[in-house]
Structure 1
Amino acid sequence: MKRLIGLLGVLAMVGLAVAWALTRPAPLDNDFAADHAPDVENGALVFAAAGCASCHAAPEADGEAKLVLAGGHAFASDFGTFYTPNISPGPEGIGGWTLAAFVRAVTKGVSPDGQHYYPAFPYSAYQHMTPGDLSDLFAYMQTLPTADTPSQPHDVGFPFNIRRALGFWKLLFVTNTYTMAGDLPPELTRGRYLVEALGHCGECHTPRNGLGGLDRSAWLAGAPNPSGKGQIPNITPAKLDWSVEDLIYYFESGFTPDYDSVGGSMAAVVSNLAQLPESDRAAIAAYLKAVPPVN
């Protein structure tokens, strides 16, 4: 019996060691993009395409105030309520962060002090961002106003408040492959990058399983609104029958082919897309026409 207890104790310690290793936050090379000269103008376009202000500007901010990334938006979920943090370039935000720390947060979901971020932050999409775009985005964000608003703590109960356990979630649901796989022509390649990486469209338009992982078999097929109000629409060709021209116009103006206008959180998305070159809006439209239809 003593030997059995001792063996179980050893196995338990080995299991804990393996779990600790599997859930460790992913590292990043401190010399990331060291040979890249940052392009602030491109960084502004990346900032728009990634929708940074839509979540991190203060609620009800308008005009130039949208560039003050004080945070404070609340996102309700089945796991608790998450609050967007201050990411302005000041002491309460990301002031003092290195490029490597910023990239590790954006693409690996790991804070500068080595804690896992909750996947309310769409790092599973942003992981596909190119080194140049990440460097340009970081450079652009350094030019924005600072905000002295402290970040609010998330309202998340046990066991979801165990940050280390998010390492298991990442192992299960964060994949470094695109959903639309394979070699694509240039316009579709750009569209895939804008939809699956920068625009992180799947985060809202794809249903999730009981653990909050995306159901990629129903990619962009619509999902319940986390707020409990209504349904986020299916934007695959099974339901979205707009022409490429209709889509491009909608992304720029917010007007549908039925002469309706965009509303809700999609209004902020259209505001962001309108800042991009028309070729990017056309690439997104081409991607949405090419994605497999899901009823």
Structure 2
Amino acid sequence: MEPAADASAQSTAERGRLLFHAGLCAGCHTAEDGAPLAGGRPIESPYGTFYASNITPDPEHGIGGWSDEDFVRALSEGVSPDGEHYYPAFPYTAFTKLTREDMLAIKAYIDDVEPVAQPNREHDLVWYADWRWPLGLWKALFFEPGTFQPVPERGDAWNRGAYLSEAAAHCAECHSPRNLFGAIIDDVRYAGADAGVEGGSTPNITPSKDQGIGSWTQDMLAFYLEIGMDPDGDFAGGAMAHVIDVGTGKLSAEDRDAIAEYILSLPPIER
């Protein structure tokens, strides 16, 4: 291999590693005491329990047989290689904003994970959510595919933070209220959810002084994303502690700063 090609491969692998952590892939797809990325982790929701799938390179139970196009289609359109719609518990609604190059960098990283021959577990959902065919209608109403578009008048750091927050880390997916059909209510995006991830509520992370994190500085939020300690000296618990442990805590300081800059630039919202 030529040195230039080797450097390019290393660059792709490093980008894939960082985006893998930013996307919290291990957080959802690894069960407690389970093999990395072998699936089986329960995800509670108002519609029942979803069980994360095996995304190791195992060719039978994982994604080892997926082509690049299969992987890109799953992340950008929420469709399996067999043409089946995915439930939006898999946040393709955010991942669709990733560039194709970044999607394939994540795949390259996952392809080097140890394959695990663990079958996927069926979801345990209420009867009306157990049908997949209505998901096509749900997408027509609530899903807008497309790559993130930078805002030219904003700086590079802000756009990097917006890309990481909106596309990779999918912060709004947990921190936003949803309507009766499970879609994010855009007018109160990032304003917290009463029934959030794993059955618990999630806080308002807009810069509202009364209900959100408007009293936090950018350094405070970046530090919180690194080790989980808030300005009062308390530490994150539950799902957010897991997010920091497997996700934001593994990012670069520059990326955490960028996320903090973007989040604190959002309009303050109170509910």
Call closer, same or farther: CA 1:217–1:182 in 2, change over 3 Å.
Answer: farther
- Superposed CA deviations along residues 193-251 of structure 1, whole A, max 9, x for unmatched, are 11111000111100000010100100100001347865210000001021111111111
CA contact (8 A) 1:206 1:220 kept: yes
Call closer, same or farther: CA 1:229–1:53 in 2, change over 3 Å.
Answer: closer
- Superposed CA deviations along residues 53-82 of structure 1, whole A, max 9, x for unmatched, are 000012245xxx5xx211111122222221
Q: Which runs of 5+ in 2 are unaligned?
A: 1-7
CA contact (8 A) 1:196 1:202 kept: yes
Call closer, same or farther: CA 1:229–1:166 in 2, change over 3 Å.
Answer: closer
Q: Distance in 1 between matches of 2:265 and 2:13?
A: 32
CA contact (8 A) 1:180 1:291 kept: no
| Cα RMSD after superposing both structures | 2.1
Aligned residue pairs total: 255
Q: Distance in 2 between matches of 1:226 and 1:45?
A: 25
**What's 1:168 paired with?**
137
- The equivalences for 1:159-198 within 5 A come to 159-176=128-145, 182-183=151-152, 184-198=154-168
**Residue 87 of structure 1: which of 20, 40, 55 is its match?**
55
Call closer, same or farther: CA 1:113–1:84 in 2, change over 3 Å.
Answer: same
Q: Distance in 2 between matches of 1:227 and 1:122?
A: 12
Q: Distance in 2 between matches of 1:174 and 1:157?
A: 22
CA contact (8 A) 1:178 1:196 kept: no
Q: Distance in 2 between matches of 1:227 and 1:266?
A: 9
Q: Distance in 1 between matches of 2:150 and 2:163?
A: 11
CA contact (8 A) 2:99 2:147 kept: no
Q: Distance in 1 between matches of 2:12 and 2:261?
A: 27
Answering whether residue 41 of structure 2 is matched by residue 73 of structure 1, we say yes
Answering whether residue 242 of structure 2 is matched by residue 268 of structure 1, we say yes
**What's 1:209 paired with?**
179
Amino acid at match of 1:171: A
CA contact (8 A) 1:126 1:197 kept: yes
Q: Which runs of 5+ in 1 are unaligned?
A: 1-35
Task: Give the superposition deviation at 1:159.
Answer: 3.1
Secondary structure of the residue aligned to 1:76 is strand
Larger radius of gyration: 1
Task: Give the superposition deviation at 1:185.
Answer: 2.0
Amino acid at match of 2:48: G
CA contact (8 A) 2:175 2:196 kept: no
CA contact (8 A) 1:82 1:156 kept: yes
Amino acid at match of 1:253: I
Call closer, same or farther: CA 1:180–1:99 in 2, change over 3 Å.
Answer: closer
Answering whether residue 110 of structure 2 is matched by residue 141 of structure 1, we say yes
Call closer, same or farther: CA 1:193–1:122 in 2, change over 3 Å.
Answer: same
Amino acid at match of 1:243: T
Secondary structure of the residue aligned to 2:117 is coil
Answering whether residue 250 of structure 2 is matched by residue 282 of structure 1, we say no
Q: Distance in 2 between matches of 1:228 and 1:84?
A: 13
**Residue 53 of structure 1: which of 10, 17, 26 is its match?**
26
Call closer, same or farther: CA 1:229–1:82 in 2, change over 3 Å.
Answer: closer
Tell me the TM-score normalized by structure 1. Answer: 0.81
Tell me the TM-score normalized by structure 2. Answer: 0.88
- Superposed CA deviations along residues 70-104 of structure 1, whole A, max 9, x for unmatched, are 11111222222211011110021001110100111
Secondary structure of the residue aligned to 1:82 is strand
Q: Distance in 2 between matches of 1:294 and 1:226?
A: 18
